[in-house]
Amino acid sequence: MDVQQWMNRARQQIESWIQQSVESWQAASGSVEEAMAYSVNAGGKRLRPQLVVAASEYVGIDPERVRDAAVAVEYLHTYSLIHDDLPAMDNDDMRRGRPTSHKVFGEAMAILAGDALLTEAFVLMSRLDAAGFSPWGVVRATNQLAKAAGRQGLVRGQVQDLAGEHQELSVEALSDIHRNKTAVLFEACLSIPALLAEDEGQAKVLSRFGRHFGLAFQMVDDILNVVGDARQLGKATGTDAGLGKATYPRLLGMEGARQLLGDHVRDAKHGLDPNKAQVLEGLLTFAVERTW
C-alpha cells in the first residue's frame, strides 16, 4: 500500500467534511463563526482526523460513518492551538503560516472562538448515533474525547507546561507533561472508532499506539523547534528556549532525544496486527520523519 497516496486521499476527504461543516455555520462578518472558520481553514496536517479514519479502517468501520468524530477532533485540536497561542500562554504570533487568531480578531474573540470550537466538537460527537452506532458506544467514545480535552488531559498538560517554564525538570516529568498535553488526544483519536464498535480489546491496543505516537510526535516537535525551518513549519523556531521550556533535546541532547524517539516508535507498534496496520505504521513514519 502506498501510504502517501492514502494520506492524500484521506486528507482530501477530511477537508471536504470540514468545509461542509464550516459552511453550515453561515459565518457573518464580525461573528464568532468568522473567527472559528479562520483558524479551522488555516489548514495544517489534519493528522488527528486521519488517525480517526485509519483506526476506523483498522477495526473494519466505513470511514464515512466516523466523519463527525474526525471533524470533532480537528475542531478540538484547533481550539487548543488558539488558546495555546494566546499571550497568557505561549504568546505566538504565527500559526500554520498565518497570523494567530488573537492577532487578527483580538484576545477576547480568540478565546470565544476556541470555546465555541471545543463545544462544537461535542455537538458532533453527540450525533454519532445517526451513523448507526449504539448509544453506549457513542457515550464511551464521547467520554474518551472529553477526558482527553479536560482536566485529565490537555488542560492539565498545559498547566504543567506553564508551571515547568524556567524549571529543571526530569525526563520523566517532561514525558508526563507531553502525555497530557499531546499524547492523550492521539490516544482518543485512535481509540474512538474501536469504542464506537464496542471492541474493548482493540481500543486498548490502539490507545497504546496513540500514546507512543503522541509522545514521538511531541519529541519531533521539540527537535524541529531547534533545527527546523520556520517557513516550512509555518511558525517561529527557537521559541522553546526563549520561554525557558524543558525539551528533550535540552535534557538529553539531540542524539539522546533521537534514541528515545526510536524507542517510542518501536513501542507504538507493539500489539498491532501486522496484516492490517500498514496505514497506521505509515502515519507513524510520516510523523517522525516530517520536517514541518
Burial bucket for residue 88 (CB in 10 Å: 0-12, 13-18, 19+): exposed
Mean pLDDT of the chain, nearest integer: 94
Give the integer Cα–Cα distance in Å for 33 and 166.
37
What DSSP assignment string belongs to 8-72?
HHHHHHHHHHHHHHHHTT-PPTTSHHHHHHHHHTT----HHHHHHHHHHHHTT--GGGGHHHHHH
Instruction: Please tell me the predicted confidence (pLDDT) of residue 237.
Output: 66
Instruction: Please tell me the predicted confidence (pLDDT) of residue 234.
Output: 67
The mean pLDDT of 201-218, rounded to a whole number, is 97
Domain boundaries, the chain: 3-289
The phi, psi pair for 18, rounded to 5°, reads -65, -45
* Contact between 193 and 220 (Cβ < 8 Å): no
The mean pLDDT of 203-211, rounded to a whole number, is 98
Q: How does pLDDT run across 154-200, given as a tens digit for each residue? A: 999 999 999 998 898 999 999 999 999 999 999 999 999 999 999 99
| Residue 65: closest CA among 150, 171, 146, 141 | 141
Instruction: Please tell me the predicted confidence (pLDDT) of residue 235.
Output: 62
3-289 falls under which CATH superfamily? Answer: Farnesyl Diphosphate Synthase (1.10.600.10)
- Burial code (b: 16+ CB inside 10 Å, e: under 16) for 93-106 equals eebbebebbbbebe
Instruction: Please tell me the predicted confidence (pLDDT) of residue 114.
Output: 98
Give the integer Cα–Cα distance in Å for 36 and 234.
19
Instruction: Please tell me the predicted confidence (pLDDT) of residue 131.
Output: 98
